[in-house]
Amino acid sequence: MNQAAILPINRPALSQLGYEPWRAAWEFLAHTMGRKPVAIGDGHPVIIFPGMGTDGRAVAPLRKHCDSLGYSALDWGRGYNTGPQGNLDAWLSELASHTVELLKDFDQRATLVGWSLGGLYARELAKLLTPQVRQVITIGTPFNAAADHTNFGWLFRALTGASRENDPGLSARLSAPPPVPTTSIYSRTDGVVSWQCCVEKEGPQAENIEVEASHLGMGFNPLTLLSLIHI
């Protein structure tokens, strides 16, 4: 059963948000002190989409981890993620074309990994590029949420020019799963987004993995990285 559908959804407490930078720092330290993983991957491409207001440097530990596992990890190649600009469909179509270009030298289907807002891109691209996508993995991505279910909804609206009011049609679109296997990694102690908004209805092609992590450090949290071994 989709827990997000039966539990009240509230923004994380501001006190929890305040601890995010400190927790993320400890998670990064734990990552750097951890053992290097054994390469077991098949070399297929893994494209990593950063969260809002970040770029490839923020997901460098995640990309390096995937490389160490034996996959071909790629940055999304669009610099800072400032949110969709202009018409959403046109923007996603452009991003899809760019993604196809990234994959032109590979004959294997890709895994799309997105952190926070980047996870929404991964899900939507999987709908547009289904034959080229192997699976989608989201990390702290509120695909079952309105902007007001996050503590940074105001920042998203400022970057994108989105309306303050929730768009039911857009929310329904974003919550619809892509037609490929999906994994959602989430944390009940996320200080930025409500964990219920990151939970998918489990089924043959959908799973949820809970980790104890901050939102800002989830992409390099040791438990998150451990869950990415078999991708």
Cα–Cα distances (Å) from 31 to 22, 27, 180, 186, 199, in that order, read 14, 6, 30, 18, 25
Percent of the chain with pLDDT over 70: 76
Tell me the mean pLDDT in the region 121-138.
Answer: 97
pLDDT at 6 over 50: no
pLDDT at 11 over 70: no
pLDDT at 29 over 70: yes
The pTM is what?
Answer: 0.83
pLDDT confidence bin for 192, thresholds 50/70/90: confident
Residue 28 is inside which H or E element, if any?
Answer: helix 20-33
pLDDT confidence bin for 92, thresholds 50/70/90: very high
Residue with the bigger pLDDT between 123 and 230: it is 123
pLDDT at 2: 45
pLDDT at 222: 87
The predicted-structure confidence for 34-49, as pLDDT tens digits, reads as follows: 666 667 889 999 999 9
pLDDT at 45: 97
Q: With b meaning 16 or more CB within 10 Å and e meaning fewer, what string describes 16-33?
A: bbeebeebbeebbeebee
Q: Is 108 left (phi over 0), alpha (psi -120 to 50) or beta?
A: beta
Q: Is residue 184 exposed (0-12), middle (13-18) or buried (19+ Cβ within 10 Å)?
A: buried
pLDDT at 9 over 70: no
pLDDT confidence bin for 4, thresholds 50/70/90: very low
| Residue type for position 201 | K
pLDDT at 141: 92
User: Of the given ranges (19-33, 51-65, 147-161), which has the lowest mean pLDDT?
Assistant: 147-161
pLDDT at 174: 85
Residue pair 51/20 in contact by the 8 Å Cβ criterion? no
The predicted-structure confidence for 145-178, as pLDDT tens digits, reads as follows: 655 566 566 445 544 445 555 567 777 888 899 9
pLDDT at 59 over 80: yes
pLDDT at 225 over 50: yes
Handedness of CA 160, 174, 104, 74 (dihedral sign): positive
Domains of the chain: 3-33+43-226 (3.40.50.1820)
Q: Among the residues of 38-87, which ranges form H helices?
A: 60-68
pLDDT confidence bin for 91, thresholds 50/70/90: very high
